[in-house]
Structures are given as structure tokens and as C-alpha cells.
Amino acid sequence: MSGTLPFPHFTDLDEETTRPGSLINFPESLYSLSTAENVEEPRAEELDILEDLRRAEIDPDVALRLIAKGKARGSRVALWIRSVIQSAFFSWGTFIQRHAAKILVLGILILAFSCYNLKNIVLETRLDKLWVEEGGRLEEERGYVQEIHGSEVGATPLVILQTPTANASSVLTAEALLLHLKIALLATEVEVEIFKNTWTLRDICHKAAFPTFDERISGTFSDALEHLYPCSIISPLDCFWEGAKLLGPPNAVLIPASTRSGHNGWSVGSEEWSKTDQQGRLLHICIM
């Protein structure tokens, strides 16, 4: 390619350089130009111009002019959009160049104002405030629990977020609620060993404050009451018996008439709270 000819510009493609013998083909990408093979042989100076058009990105205004004259093929809409975008950026660039000092000072002022207001930013790290609906039922229940049982300093609520498996599906179905129960039970059974001590959720969760007894008898009842008071858990399962499985003691306890026998119906035995048959026990009491 000759180095004496400049890159073709809109004003360079006059009638002489774009005579009917030269046909330029715009592909769909609109990034290069190609000549048709079944046209007459162009002149030497036209070969240099067409070679530049093949290897470089063509200006959209030049491409539109060539398409209008029938010298090229391509998408007019895409070229027009490119032309508008390039014209807008060119206008912004020339405006910034003419008012460089003003733009620089304005940018520094905006940056300084933003940095000054960083000291007023408060980062919210409590998950319940980020996800719990303001003015909703859950917020009212949390307020009621804090009002009745009190709130410990530094306590942070643990939130379990359950999303539907399919779009626009509900999480209030029986299957979804049972899945929620299974996940919540697994969360309450997690054990962590730190410094040779085993900790569970029941050891660190918020519980209702039990009454204070005399020092002589406080040691006798403290351990028993600690296992009786459940953790403060708010869940949609509170409306069902399955929700009580999250509140009962984890260890098996001695419950009168808690196990079935062959002829007597029920007898004394130890049973876990989450596995008790409440309906069967109520029916047995009614029959008695």
C-alpha cells in the first residue's frame, strides 16, 4: 500500500474515487469494507483507498454516503445510530476541551463534597433491619417479644430467609413450611466446640428472664428452669403444632402417660418433645 496517500475522508471520496466501477460491501458488523469481485479493475490510487477502507473502521457518515450512491451495502439504521453516538461524544469532547479549567474545578468540588459527606454515612449491619418489612407483622411480634421479655445488650437476631423454588410461587404451602421446619430444626441442633466446651444455639439464644429466687434455692431451680424456657423464635409455624418442635427441650424428658402400651393405652416413659403424639394423648385424656 502506498504511503503517500492519506487515509480516505468524507471529502476525499468524491465522484472520481467512487466511480461506478468500485462497489464496496458492508458486512453486518459494519467494521470493514470489501469490494465485489465481479467489477472492473480499479485504478492504482483507488486500490490504495479501498485497501485502507478494508483494514480500518469506516466513518459512519462516509459509509452512509457510499450506500446512498450505491457504492456499498450495509445497515443504514446501525450506521445512523453510530453516527449519532459519535457526534454526541465529539460534541462533549469539544465542550470539555474549550472549558477544561471549569470542568476540572467542578469535578474537584464534587469529589470534595462526596468525601466530606462520607463521615455521615451509617453502615447498617443488622440483617433484620435490612430484610424485615417495616410496619409488618414480624416487626410487631419482635417488638412484643422485646417488650415482654426484654432485650439483651449486643444481641443480634438470626434470620432464616426462604425463597421459592420457582418464579412467582408461594412459600406458604405445606411443603414449603415443612421444609422451613426441617431447616430450622437443623439450625437449632448445630454444635460448636470452642476451648473444649460445646456450645449450641440454646446456650446463646435470647430467652425469657425467669424469676429470681432466694440464693439458698436458686441453684436448685436454675438448671431446671433454664431447660424449660425456650429460645425466642418467631416463625410462621407458630400457628401449627409443628412450630412447637422448635421450642421444646432437646433431651428426652419423663412425661406421664407418654408411651403406648398394648392394653393400657399409655404408660409412663421418657420421650422427646418433638416426637410426642399430642393428638393421641388428648384423645386418651378425653376417653378417660
Tell me the pLDDT tens digit for each residue of 158-215: 777 777 777 767 788 888 888 888 888 888 888 888 888 888 887 777 776 666 666 6
The closest of 220, 225, 285 to 249, measured between CA atoms, is 225
Terminal C-alpha separation, the chain: 109
The closest of 35, 2, 5 to 20, measured between CA atoms, is 35
**Residue 12 pLDDT class (50, 70, 90 cuts):** very low
**Residue 273 pLDDT class (50, 70, 90 cuts):** low
Considering the domain boundaries, does residue 118 fall inside one?
no
Examine the domain organization and report whether 50 and 87 are in the same domain: yes
How far are the Cα atoms of 5, 25, 172, 191 from residue 234, in angstroms, in the given order? Answer: 80, 69, 15, 21
Cα–Cα dist 196/230, whole Å: 25
126-138 average pLDDT score = 70
Examine the domain organization and report whether 37 and 83 are in the same domain: yes
Domain count, the chain: 3
Examine the domain organization and report whether 242 and 275 are in the same domain: no
Examine the domain organization and report whether 86 and 41 are in the same domain: yes
How far are the Cα atoms of 142, 175, 236 from residue 172, in angstroms, in the given order? Answer: 20, 8, 9
**Residue 23 pLDDT class (50, 70, 90 cuts):** very low
> Domain boundary at 74, 98, 122, which?
98
Examine the domain organization and report whether 218 and 287 are in the same domain: no
> Domain boundary at 48, 64, 98, which?
98
Taking only the tens place, the pLDDT of each residue in 62-98 is 778 877 887 777 788 888 898 899 899 999 999 999 9
Lowest average pLDDT, out of 129-138, 194-203, 247-256, 258-267, goes to 258-267
By residue range, what is the domain housing residue 275?
251-288
Considering the domain boundaries, does residue 211 fall inside one?
yes
Considering the domain boundaries, does residue 134 fall inside one?
no
Cα–Cα dist 139/133, whole Å: 7
Contact criterion met (CB below 8 Å) for 72 and 26: yes
pLDDT at 132 > cutoff 90: no
Considering the domain boundaries, does residue 16 fall inside one?
no
Examine the domain organization and report whether 233 and 280 are in the same domain: no
Cα–Cα dist 278/240, whole Å: 12
What residues contact residue 228 under an 8 Å CB cut-off, 6+ apart?
249
Examine the domain organization and report whether 28 and 94 are in the same domain: yes
How far are the Cα atoms of 5, 8, 65, 144 from residue 49, in angstroms, in the given order? Answer: 8, 6, 16, 82
What residues contact residue 209 under an 8 Å CB cut-off, 6+ apart?
149, 150
Considering the domain boundaries, does residue 4 fall inside one?
no
Examine the domain organization and report whether 231 and 256 are in the same domain: no
The number of CA neighbours under 13 Å toward the Cβ of 154 is 1
Examine the domain organization and report whether 219 and 275 are in the same domain: no
**Residue 109 pLDDT class (50, 70, 90 cuts):** very high
Does 50 or 31 have the greater pLDDT score? 50
Examine the domain organization and report whether 244 and 165 are in the same domain: yes
Considering the domain boundaries, does residue 121 fall inside one?
no
Does 121 or 169 have the greater pLDDT score? 121
How far are the Cα atoms of 24, 32, 82, 163 from residue 50, in angstroms, in the given order? Answer: 8, 10, 21, 60
Considering the domain boundaries, does residue 142 fall inside one?
no
Helix %, strand %, coil % for the chain, to 5? 50, 10, 40
Examine the domain organization and report whether 213 and 245 are in the same domain: yes
Considering the domain boundaries, does residue 15 fall inside one?
no
Helix (H) or strand (E) holding 197: strand 197-200
**Residue 11 pLDDT class (50, 70, 90 cuts):** very low
Q: What is the mean pLDDT of the chain?
A: 70
**Residue 103 pLDDT class (50, 70, 90 cuts):** very high
Examine the domain organization and report whether 177 and 167 are in the same domain: yes
Lowest average pLDDT, out of 20-24, 108-112, 165-169, 240-244, goes to 20-24
